[in-house]
Chains A and B, each alone.
Chain A
């Protein structure tokens, strides 16, 4: 009897010793809640990282990178392109399982997903897919995409970003509107619980095709109060935290023991868009005066060298097609004043500006305001809350609009949304052309269908030069993303870029 008791105790002890404690990654995000994590709708900073943990594309951005040049196979193992560049054949990985009981991923799911991404009713990224003529499943592991015209960045459209994420057809159809909070993909993590205004919990996908993740669970917490989020990270309750794009924050947390602060691309380009449809900005000389009155290095210096750099063009750095050596207006107050006098405003001008109360945006704009004042340009702020700001600037109510954005890293997207006449606010096709800019339509359109990469870059360069020369907008500075992690966390790659605006948690990510 005694022997039995000892044997049982020994087995129990052994099983306790071998049972591995669950590895939980606690991540703190600066948001009150998720927006939506349907990958074809997710556009906000808090949603995009989650999407990257749940989904795959046919190709993927190398983890830790935000560059199109690093695209590598994901759900597709290889692909072929026709000589005219219009037909693409993708060969899919076989045996890939969707989360839960949603079955195996096939060409049918890929066709469904890409068609869904191209449909304005189900996707926020439909315009990106306007170039697609047809998508069809050749067999369960082969997909054929035919384009209306060849484009150099087709792989970007099928990457694990925005519309390129592959969803389960069965799940999307069965869950309907619920899919936006319970999406089903093939990625390393799957959603198990969503607590509104509190947290989202994901567990590892045991069938992940690259191997079972070493992290068992991710608890993604929504902590809108900056101070509370920072305290939770300092107290060790969070392993990874969304950092503030602020020099002092970076310096403070860099000194905290056991902490790594990472400042990564893509940057958001902060730009001042000048409304050519409003007086006195309809006069090019007034717009030029504003461009001369802006001191870019001073603004970037104020925002902090660790997280901000002066802008180089009207498109952010690192995008396919950005003219990194664009000729921007230098800071010259005397010239600004002379131009105003020449335009008939010797005593200066006043410009009405709808401005958001969001502190980071408001304080940047206050620097711009003080710089312009030196040249006699008075920016008169009407400060409103952030949602009202978004609504009012789209109703063409502001003389100048301060807007900060990152987009898919191809110049076409930025140029089209901010500077093509189709995107002018007020039109049915409007996106974010707040300046009523229409000087570079021909180049933007020609570049979009240009098959020769060098010629295409040249067209984008000309478009940028024209926009800068006409002063549709004055680029100000670029703000990088800031994240901090405990040294106990190893992403499994070098975190230099985050196309998904946050760290990708992969099967290789570990926590000690």
Chain B
């Protein structure tokens, strides 16, 4: 298994290189000027020129590219153009919040999505199935900022159960958990939609298979037939969706982070983009791309766990 992980990590290098090169080029193709943020809109063109030189933006694109790649190879993400703080510090400051939000959303997504999908398949065309289908459709179609505002209005402003401004970094673990509930439900609901649909269609197929009919005719209890026989065979597509979603959640957390005012990688990316903070943006892309690579490896490893026929060797 270790060989498998190392092989996958090595294979990720060209992917990371391609992502970094694309990001490097894209952020510079987009018009914009970090000096407007740093110096404000009253500074003269001469002082902007001087700052551009100082920031290394006056160098040729190729030279900037080699500098950047050289830094990355040394494990150095550089310093933010706007704040001059080490990018590693900025990333490490927000990474735990992104990870906890992602994990909590995954839990919400699977804990609600899987039973709902199984129930919908079991009671095909019944009220439960209709409910699950409408619920999942609504989950897919609701933009995260709309559902986020609705959750805040009901649970924070009216019921006062949760804070509007997430105290994501509260020292008290209970307070931190309380601040995590609404954002993870908001992000998790989007995933519930997909997981429900995949589970439902997988289960429908499995429940019609011969081995299920055999199990039933042997007189096994219904729960065991559904969960032990049928469901185990649906796990592979579910893991695929969850694995794909891990990457999507990391990328899509941005709207949830903004609405609930939580620190996180997504929010930092938007700030960096708005400020044309090229170096910070590049650093964040390195981290995001790496996170997705890791998520994919974890997904592949999970295949081996849920289906012994899949070997990681």
Binding site for B on A (CB under 8 A): 28, 32-33, 35-36, 41-44, 120-121, 124-127, 177-178, 180-181, 195-198, 221-225, 227-228, 231-232, 234-235, 237-238, 384-388, 390-392, 394, 405, 407, 417, 423, 425-432
Beyond A32-B274, A195-B169, A196-B94, whether A431 also contacts B44 by CB under 8 A is yes
Residues from chain A with Cβ under 8 Å of B263 in the complex: 195-198
- In the complex, the chain A residue whose C-beta lies closest to that of B156 is A235
Asked if B85 contacts A388 (CB within 8 A), the reply is no
Instruction: Give the Cβ gap from B266 to chain A, nearest Cβ, in Å.
Output: 10
Residues from chain A with Cβ under 8 Å of B239 in the complex: none
Residues from chain B with Cβ under 8 Å of A32 in the complex: 267, 270-271, 274
Which candidate, B28-36, B103-111, B222-230, B289-297, is the interface stretch facing chain A? Answer: B28-36
Residues from chain B with Cβ under 8 Å of A121 in the complex: 50
Asked if B165 contacts A180 (CB within 8 A), the reply is no
Residues from chain B with Cβ under 8 Å of A197 in the complex: 94, 263, 267-268, 271
Asked if B42 contacts A431 (CB within 8 A), the reply is yes
For chain B, residues 66 to 116, give those with C-beta under 8 angstroms from any C-beta of chain A. 82-85, 90, 93-94
Q: Which residue of the partner chain, among B39, B41, B49, contacts A428 with CB atoms under 8 Å?
A: B49
Asked if A384 contacts B259 (CB within 8 A), the reply is no
Separation of A474 and B161 alpha carbons in the complex (Å): 51
Asked if A231 contacts B260 (CB within 8 A), the reply is no
B163 within 8 A of partner (CB)? yes
B177 within 8 A of partner (CB)? no
Residues from chain B with Cβ under 8 Å of A388 in the complex: 30-32
Q: Which residue of the partner chain, among A181, A394, A405, A417, contacts B45 with CB atoms under 8 Å?
A: A394
B121 within 8 A of partner (CB)? no
Binding site for A on B (CB under 8 A): 30-33, 36-47, 49-50, 82-85, 90, 93-94, 145, 149, 152-153, 156-157, 160, 163-165, 168-169, 258-261, 263, 267-268, 270-271, 274-276
Asked if B94 contacts A237 (CB within 8 A), the reply is no
Please name 21 pairs of A and B residues whose Cβ atoms are closer than 8 Å in the assembled complex, sorted by A: A32-B270, A120-B46, A124-B47, A196-B83, A198-B168, A221-B261, A225-B259, A227-B149, A228-B149, A231-B149, A231-B157, A237-B163, A387-B33, A387-B275, A390-B41, A426-B45, A427-B45, A428-B45, A429-B45, A431-B42, A431-B44
Separation of A384 and B153 alpha carbons in the complex (Å): 32
Asked if B42 contacts A225 (CB within 8 A), the reply is no
Separation of A430 and B33 alpha carbons in the complex (Å): 15
- Secondary structure call for the A interface: loop
Residues from chain A with Cβ under 8 Å of B268 in the complex: 196-197
Asked if B275 contacts A221 (CB within 8 A), the reply is no
Asked if B267 contacts A430 (CB within 8 A), the reply is no
Which A-B residue pairs are the 4 nearest by beta carbons? A43-B40, A387-B32, A430-B45, A232-B164
Beyond A195-B263, A390-B33, whether A417 also contacts B42 by CB under 8 A is yes
Q: Which residue of the partner chain, among A44, A181, A428, A429, contacts B85 with CB atoms under 8 Å?
A: A181
Separation of A387 and B44 alpha carbons in the complex (Å): 17
Instruction: Give the Cβ gap from A235 to chain B, nearest Cβ, in Å.
Output: 5
Separation of A44 and B40 alpha carbons in the complex (Å): 7
Instruction: Give the Cβ gap from B35 to chain A, nearest Cβ, in Å.
Output: 9
- In the complex, the chain B residue whose C-beta lies closest to that of A403 is B41
Separation of A227 and B275 alpha carbons in the complex (Å): 22
Separation of A184 and B271 alpha carbons in the complex (Å): 26
Asked if B40 contacts A235 (CB within 8 A), the reply is no
Instruction: Give the Cβ gap from A423 to chain B, nearest Cβ, in Å.
Output: 8
Asked if B271 contacts A33 (CB within 8 A), the reply is yes
Separation of A490 and B189 alpha carbons in the complex (Å): 42
- In the complex, the chain B residue whose C-beta lies closest to that of A386 is B274
Instruction: Give the Cβ gap from B51 to chain A, nearest Cβ, in Å.
Output: 9
Instruction: Give the Cβ gap from A497 to chain B, nearest Cβ, in Å.
Output: 20
Beyond A181-B83, A231-B152, A387-B276, whether A41 also contacts B41 by CB under 8 A is no
Asked if A224 contacts B258 (CB within 8 A), the reply is yes
Asked if A429 contacts B44 (CB within 8 A), the reply is yes
Q: Which residue of the partner chain, among A126, A391, A428, contacts B32 with CB atoms under 8 Å?
A: A391
Separation of A283 and B36 alpha carbons in the complex (Å): 31
Beyond A124-B43, A181-B83, whether A235 also contacts B160 by CB under 8 A is yes
Residues from chain A with Cβ under 8 Å of B30 in the complex: 388
Residues from chain A with Cβ under 8 Å of B274 in the complex: 32, 385-387
Asked if B36 contacts A390 (CB within 8 A), the reply is yes
Asked if A223 contacts B42 (CB within 8 A), the reply is no
Asked if B157 contacts A432 (CB within 8 A), the reply is no
Separation of A235 and B182 alpha carbons in the complex (Å): 16
Asked if B259 contacts A228 (CB within 8 A), the reply is yes
- In the complex, the chain B residue whose C-beta lies closest to that of A422 is B44
Instruction: Give the Cβ gap from A114 to chain B, nearest Cβ, in Å.
Output: 18
Residues from chain B with Cβ under 8 Å of A225 in the complex: 145, 258-259, 261
Asked if A223 contacts B261 (CB within 8 A), the reply is yes
Asked if A120 contacts B41 (CB within 8 A), the reply is no
Residues from chain B with Cβ under 8 Å of A386 in the complex: 274
Residues from chain A with Cβ under 8 Å of B50 in the complex: 120-121
Residues from chain A with Cβ under 8 Å of B276 in the complex: 387
- In the complex, the chain B residue whose C-beta lies closest to that of A181 is B83
Separation of A127 and B274 alpha carbons in the complex (Å): 27
Separation of A44 and B31 alpha carbons in the complex (Å): 21
Residues from chain B with Cβ under 8 Å of A181 in the complex: 83, 85
Q: Which residue of the partner chain, among A41, A44, A232, A423, contacts B165 with CB atoms under 8 Å?
A: A232
Beyond A180-B83, A235-B160, whether A43 also contacts B93 by CB under 8 A is no
Separation of A426 and B274 alpha carbons in the complex (Å): 23
Separation of A36 and B40 alpha carbons in the complex (Å): 10
